[in-house]
């Protein structure tokens, strides 16, 4: 999960069609493309990687250098009886007192060289920008899942969901892990992400039992599944990334993660994971550069972000398997 493709550096001599790590020294105002940057604002990701990323690690807009507080779990349960204001006085002031951490968003980007003999149509620049955007979002999703995995190392539980292992009840096992997290932190994880392998093993475990209760559990859709477990939402991540020339790997495989966050989270509000993003151009988190040459163009897309586990408490990971 933590292994990333090592991209060649953008030295100006890369082969045509090769995606490489963007070289910041080439990001000059002369090469900035306002139309292509505007294109990134309205672009919709057909692979839904952006939506999955926002689900796992919601965006919080910050300056390049920012400060946040590592969540103090106890503060989520503080309560007052003295919140009544006396005439002429101010309301009681409260503040987050968790440990302050100074950080910054990291400059990330990719460049692709396009030979003019290989282009067709008037929208070829937009199509290559789209390719780079999808890849950048895929990189970010891998980072978010890797961050959850790293902070769940001591909280990993393995389960066998197979008829040869007795009468498994996958949803009861997931519920157990949610309850363990709640007993640890006082907050029940509100989001689940499941690898498609884990979802298939769950379905097979219920299908093999062939009784009314198991059949009902096997037929649940994701919304019903989440409601049964008292979480806000569950998502299946079936996306893959290239690992070898002839092999692709699943982002999650047979794993399930339970964690707490939400779309309206604040910078200092308790949550397991956040994605700090510095807007570059108006509302766009991206900026696009095009360096034109007589026979080819170098297209670069850059952004600033940092995915941070702001509270590791309560992240649970299940690894499931099925005996043959």
In a domain, 247, yes or no: yes
- Looking at the structure of the chain, the number of domains it has is 1
Using CA atoms, how far apart are residues 31 and 17, in angstroms rounded to an integer? Answer: 19
CA pseudo-torsion sign 49, 140, 263, 34: negative
CATH number of the CATH domain containing 161: 3.90.1690.10
HSE (CB half, 13 Å, CA atoms) of 15?
A: 4
pLDDT at 8: 66
pLDDT at 1: 44
pLDDT at 284: 80
In a domain, 88, yes or no: no
pLDDT at 44: 82
In order, the DSSP letters of 229-240 are TT-SEEEEE--E
pLDDT at 46: 81
Domain span including residue 270? 19-74+101-321
- Alpha-carbon distances, residue 14 vs 8, 27, 119 (angstroms): 8, 17, 18
How many C-beta neighbours within 10 Å does residue 309 have? 21
In a domain, 8, yes or no: no
In a domain, 35, yes or no: yes
In a domain, 6, yes or no: no
Q: Strand, helix or coil at 85?
A: coil
In a domain, 31, yes or no: yes
pLDDT tens figures, 187-203: 899 999 999 999 999 99
pLDDT at 242: 66
pLDDT at 146: 93
Tens-digit pLDDT profile for the chain (324 aa)?
A: 444 556 666 655 556 556 766 665 556 777 899 999 999 987 888 878 999 999 999 999 999 998 887 765 545 545 566 677 778 778 777 665 567 788 899 999 999 999 999 888 889 999 999 999 999 999 999 999 999 999 886 678 899 998 776 789 999 999 999 999 998 888 899 999 999 999 999 999 998 888 898 899 999 999 999 999 999 999 999 877 666 566 677 788 899 999 999 888 877 777 899 999 999 866 789 999 999 999 999 999 999 999 999 888 889 999 999 875
pLDDT at 257: 96
């Amino acid at each position: 999960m933590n292994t990333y493709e090592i991209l060649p550096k953008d030295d100006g001599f890369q082969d045509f069609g090769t995606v490489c790590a963007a070289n910041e020294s080439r990001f000059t105002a002369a090469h900035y493309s306002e139309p292509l940057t505007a294109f990134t604002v309205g672009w919709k990701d057909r692979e839904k990687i952006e939506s999955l990323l926002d689900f796992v690690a919601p965006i919080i807009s910050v300056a390049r250098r920012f400060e946040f507080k590592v969540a103090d779990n106890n503060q989520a349960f503080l309560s007052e009886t003295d919140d009544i204001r006396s005439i002429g006085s101010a309301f009681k002031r409260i503040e987050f007192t968790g440990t302050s951490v100074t950080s910054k968003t990291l400059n990330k980007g990719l460049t692709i060289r396009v030979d003019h003999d290989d282009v067709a149509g008037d929208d070829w620049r937009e199509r290559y920008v789209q390719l780079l955007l999808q890849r950048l979002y895929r990189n970010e999703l891998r980072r978010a899942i890797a961050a959850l995995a790293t902070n769940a190392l001591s909280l990993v539980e393995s389960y066998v969901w197979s008829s040869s292992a007795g009468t498994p009840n996958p949803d009861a096992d997931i519920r157990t892990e949610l309850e363990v997290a709640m007993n640890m932190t006082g907050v029940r994880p509100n989001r689940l992400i499941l690898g498609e392998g884990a979802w298939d093993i769950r379905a097979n475990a219920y299908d093999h039992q062939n009784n009314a209760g198991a059949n009902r559990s096997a037929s649940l859709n994701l919304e019903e599944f989440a409601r049964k477990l008292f979480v806000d939402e569950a998502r299946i991540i079936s996306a893959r990334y290239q690992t070898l020339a002839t092999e692709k790997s699943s982002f999650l495989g047979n794993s399930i993660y339970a964690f707490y966050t939400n779309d309206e989270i604040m910078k200092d509000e308790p949550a397991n994971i956040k994605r700090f993003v510095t807007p570059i151009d108006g509302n766009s988190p991206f900026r696009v550069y095009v360096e034109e040459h007589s026979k080819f163009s170098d297209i670069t897309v850059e952004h600033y972000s940092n995915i941070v586990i702001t509270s590791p408490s309560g992240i649970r990971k299940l690894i499931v398997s099925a005996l043959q």
